[in-house]
Amino acid sequence: MKFTPLKPLIHCILTLFILFAHPRNSLAQNPIGVKNDSVKTIPDTLLFRIQSAQSAITEINAANKKGYDLEVIQRKLSDIRSNIDPLKTAFSVKGDQPESKGLLSYELILKDADSRLKAITEALVKSSNDLQRMAQQVTQLSGDSLLTATGNDAADKALYGQQIKDIKLRLDQVGKATGENLNSVNRLLASTSSLGIEVSNLRAQTAERLEQSGKLALSKQQPYFWDAPIKNQNKGATGNLILTSYIGQQQILKYFISTTWDNRLLAFLISVLFFVWVHHNFSSSKRTVIKRKIGTLKFDYLRPYPILATLIILLNITPVFEPGAPSLYIELIALVLLLLMTIHLRGTLEKKQLRFWFAITLLYTLLILGNAAVDDGLPLRSALMLINIFFIWLGVKMYRKTSFKVFPKKYVHAVFALLVIFNASAVVLNLFGRVDLAKILSVTGVIGLIQLISLSVFTQIMLDAFELQMRISSCNNGFFSRINQSKAKAKLKKALSVVSLLLWIMVLFMNLSLISGIWQWLTSIVSKPRVFGSIHFSFGNILFFTVIIYISNKLQKHVPLLFGEEKITFNESSGQKGSKVALARLVIIIAGVLLAVVASGLPMDKLTVVLGAFGVGIGLGMQNIVNNFVSGIILIFEKPFRIGDYVELADKKGKVRDIGIRSSKLLTPQGSEVIIPNGDLLSGRLVNWTLNNEYIKTELLLKVPADSDLELVNKTIKEIVSSQDAAVRNLDAEILINAIAADSVELKVLCWISNIYVEADFKNKFLRAMLINAPKNGIKML
């Protein structure tokens, strides 16, 4: 049968007509059917709304239950207010005249309060937005008609009536709790805003007073000394003014202590480690073996339980960890140091000297009390001037007579000179009405003297502690037994002097309120971007580059000490050392160079240019340097010789003392050191006498008459060789006839000895023995 295209088309049309004409399909288009479907969707939509409402209520309840840290925020606000209230009081007492003392600390407190208030405001705004969103969500759910139960509800909706009532009740409870939280958050926002305005006003006053203080640094602030009133012009007695001033200072101190506890903890841990270190060494010195070697230990500043020394160490290193400390904090540290040194010196000073020391302590205490008073009355200014005059007299008297064995004289003279200059300047400034600056200079000068004394004690304590460590280490063949102790003590003393000088300068600037400005100035100089052609750099990059290279160089030089290797000498007892020292040096140098390049901030494209220039330099004239460097690396890994091996290269021979990156050192039997480039060691004919074993074969030539009994001669020679300590026992000596003459026979004696270092001594003892034993056996030597 033939296929015709029209038949399939006709079949499709008939099929579609039958489908659309069927009565069941026509019923699907009936409007009644639509009504029935809508009735069925009402329970489904209601169920979805109920589930959504329950989920929203659960989420809102969880958020309200979790809370918004409102109590914590309230405590933070109270803490901020307690921090700034004494500042407000201090500003009101000081009136219109600017007071430079403490203003920088005030600014620090207010700046921190401002940043804390901004963080609190941000948290409260976020909480307020969340609460408003949840309140709006509750309102929408409460107004939903599907969640409202009425008497005319359909039968299907009536089935959910109890659930709808429960949801409505929970919505009312959630809405009430959300509203209360929102009101609390808004109240805290208002309090935060009000407190922020107060902080801004106080910061503006502080900035204004700081500006006025700078402008009036040398201008007359109080009446001239001869015009000063008998009674202070400010309200209240001097004692009340001191108390009021100390309220503000106390708040500064409280704030500083609470915000820098981590720095103080680090200083405390260092002090505890010092205590444990010293106590452990004292305990070790009591062991019988060590006590027999070092005897009885006696130190002026150390005890088996070094509590006093630990406190002095702690108070001296505190400024390093707290450079932003307020002036009162430094003054109190100096006072505590005075008291601690009084405890130490009361058993060593004579009564007259001790009374003089007590006078210094008392006058310093009165000075810091008077320094806190805001009083322009004549009695207080006279008392301060008398104290200044006393310290001027003290500085002049002690300038020539006093010396400290741990410090150079120039340091000591500089401190006493500053004491005299600062107190003399304080007297002049007090006379002409600049009392604030006079107080600062007088306290700074006296604290400089106290720092000099305390730092001398600090240095002596550290020297005694290291002296104890050196003795214990030497007895145990430890690190300090491998170094020159007198040289190490001298370097340590010099380093401690530099550290003490830096600490003294830091405290000086802290008392003058200059440490922050100087630090910012130095930071700006070091970190400021600079341009040299197309290269961008900063002095900080150069500084880090230099420091890293310097430290790497020092470390690679002292690697043998760190690995416990003593200095190589030309004797039998100093044997071979592994190549770990040279390998460690290579690692330190490479790591140091890489770190230095990273710290320099040099971009990789610029580094590529530098390496290209370096390659040109190699091509022009640095082949030998690179050859020696590469040869040094090959020597480290190939290990043709080790430190301590006896090698021979051309006309040079000796003991390998050091394997460097560029060259190596040989110690010759004559005691001289020969520096040989690594390229020559690698490319030349190198003889290693001690690579696998140390014993060598040596030879001696002897002549005897032709008619001698050679058997007797051989027996005598073997007996003498076997009696030598340097001879190898299990290897017999060989005696060969080397030459024959008309009246003589030349014998060659070949024997093995323990190592090359005893060859000369072995020959000496052998020939001496032959001179003695040959005549006894009837052997004549020629």
User: How many C-beta neighbours within 10 Å does residue 88 have?
Assistant: 15
Task: Give the C-alpha separation, 342 to 742, whole Å.
Answer: 97
The 10s digit of each residue's pLDDT in 185-198 is 888 888 888 888 88
How does DSSP assign 413-468, residue by residue?
HHHHHHHHHHHHHHHHHHHTT-HHHHHHHHHHHHHHHHHHHHHHHHHHHHHHHHHH
CB atoms near residue 412 (< 10 Å)? 17
Q: Does pLDDT of 86 surpass 60?
A: yes
Where is pLDDT greater, at 82 or 497?
497
Above 70 in pLDDT, residue 137?
Answer: yes
Mean pLDDT of 544-558: 83
CB 45 within 8 A of CB 39: no
Measured distance CA(762)–CA(141) in Å, rounded: 110
pLDDT (0 to 100) of residue 2 = 42
d(CA 377, CA 387): 16
Q: Which pLDDT does position 11 carry in this prediction?
A: 47
pLDDT tens readout for residues 90-127: 677 554 454 555 677 777 778 888 888 888 888 888 88
pLDDT in tens, 38-62: 344 445 566 666 667 777 777 777 7
Domain 696-776 matching CATH 3.40.640.10: the answer reads no
How far apart are alpha carbons 22 and 491 in whole angstroms?
112
Summarised one tens digit per residue, pLDDT across range 355-375 is 888 888 888 888 887 776 656
CB 60 within 8 A of CB 137: yes
Highest mean pLDDT among 129-143, 176-190, 449-463: 449-463
What is the rounded distance in angstroms from the CA atom of residue 747 to the CA atom of residue 231?
Answer: 117
Query: Taking the domains of the chain in order of start, what are their residue ranges?
Result: 43-147+155-217, 238-522, 528-688, 696-776
At residue 537, the 3 state secondary structure works out as: strand
* Angle, alpha carbons 255-257-262 (nearest 5°): 125
721 neighbors 751 (Cβ within 8 angstroms) = yes
The predicted pLDDT at position 79 comes to 82
Report the mean per-residue pLDDT for the chain. 76
pLDDT at position 12 is 46
CB 165 within 8 A of CB 157: no
* Residue 227 to residue 430: CA distance in whole angstroms: 12
Q: 3-state DSSP call for residue 747?
A: strand
Query: Considering all CA atoms of the chain, what is the largest pairwise distance in Å, rounded to the nearest integer?
Result: 153
- Report d(CA 344, CA 522) in Å as an integer: 39
List for the chain the helix, strand, coil content (%; round to 5): 70, 10, 20
* pLDDT tens digits, one per residue of 710-736: 888 888 888 888 888 888 878 888 888
Give me the mean pLDDT over the 388-410 stretch: 84
Which of 691, 624, 627, 683 is CA-nearest to residue 656?
Answer: 691
Would you state the pLDDT for residue 43? 53
Q: What CA–CA distances, in Å, run from 614 to 386, 545, 595?
A: 69, 18, 19
Q: Give the residue with greater pLDDT, 299 vs 19.
A: 299
pLDDT tens digits for range 486-511? 777 888 888 888 899 999 998 888 88
Query: Which of the two residues, 699 and 102, has the higher pLDDT score?
Result: 699
pLDDT at 153 over 60: no
**pLDDT at residue 171 in the model:** 72
**pLDDT for residue 273 is more than 90:** yes
- Average pLDDT rounded to a whole number, residues 253-259: 72
Instruction: Work out the angle at residue 749's Cα, subtended by the Cα atoms of residues 747 and 752, and round it to the nearest 5 degrees.
Output: 175
Confirm if 300 and 464 have CB atoms less than 8 A apart: yes
Q: φ, ψ for residue 63 (rounded to 5)? A: -65, -45
pLDDT computed for residue 33 by the predictor = 38
Position 565 scores a pLDDT of 53
Three-state SS for 754-766 is CCHHHHHHHHHHH
What average pLDDT score do residues 328-332 get? 83
Give the HSE-up count for residue 719: Cα atoms under 13 Å, Cβ half-sphere: 12
Beta bridge partners of residue 537, listed in sequence order: 530
Using alpha carbons only, give the angle 27, 32, 33 rounded to the nearest 5 degrees: 60
DSSP codes of every residue in 267-296: HHHHHHHHHHHHHHHHHHHTSHHHHHHH--
What is the C-alpha R_g of the chain?
A: 46
Does 151 score more than 60 pLDDT?
A: no
Strand partners, 750: 699, 734
pLDDT > 70? residue 619: no
Q: How far apart are CA 258 and CA 82, in angstroms?
A: 13
pLDDT-derived band at 18 (thresholds 50, 70, 90) equals very low
Are residues 552 and 739 in contact, defined by beta-carbon separation less than 8 angstroms?
Answer: no
Of the pLDDT bands very low, low, confident and very high (cuts 50, 70, 90), residue 755 is confident
Does residue 10 register a pLDDT over 60? no
Residue type, 671: G
User: What are the structure tokens assigned to 134, written together?
Assistant: 């949840």
Burial class (CB in 10 A: 0-12, 13-18, 19+), 645: buried
**Burial of 494 by CB count in 10 Å (0-12 exposed, 13-18 middle, 19+ buried)?**
exposed
Name the token pair of 243.
């108390």
Which of the four pLDDT bands, split at 50, 70 and 90, describes residue 243?
Answer: low
Query: Model confidence over 378-389: pLDDT tens digits?
Result: 778 888 889 889
Provide the pLDDT confidence category of residue 276 given band limits of 50, 70 and 90.
very high
- Location of structure tokens 């005075």: 338
Share of the chain above pLDDT 70, in %: 76
- Greater confidence (667 vs 296) lies with 667
Task: State yes or no: pLDDT of 34 exceeds 50.
Answer: no
Report the distance separating Cα 437 and Cα 433, nearest Å: 10
Closest CA to 384 of 416, 426, 418: 426
Question: Is 687 strand, coil or helix?
Answer: strand
Q: Are strands 686-688 and 673-677 parallel, antiparallel or unpaired?
A: unpaired
Give the separation between CA 304 and CA 414, rounded to whole angstroms.
36
What integer is the mean pLDDT of 631-652?
81
pLDDT > 70? residue 77: yes
β-sheet bridge partners, residue 686: 649
| Phi, psi for residue 137 in degrees, rounded to 5 | -65, -40
Q: Is the sign of the CA dihedral 275, 281, 283, 285 positive or negative?
A: negative
Q: What mean pLDDT comes out for the span 658-687?
A: 82
Q: Which of 32-46, 228-242, 364-378, 666-680 has the highest mean pLDDT?
A: 666-680
Q: Where are the alpha helices (DSSP H) in 322-408?
A: 327-345, 351-372, 378-401
160 versus 67: the higher-pLDDT residue is: 67
Q: Kind and range of the H or E element at 675?
A: strand 673-677
Contact 372, 331 (CB under 8 A): no
Q: Are 357 and 342 in contact (CB under 8 A)?
A: yes
Q: Phi first, then psi: what are they for 507, rounded to 5°?
A: -65, -35
Instruction: Read off the DSSP letter of residue 727.
Output: B
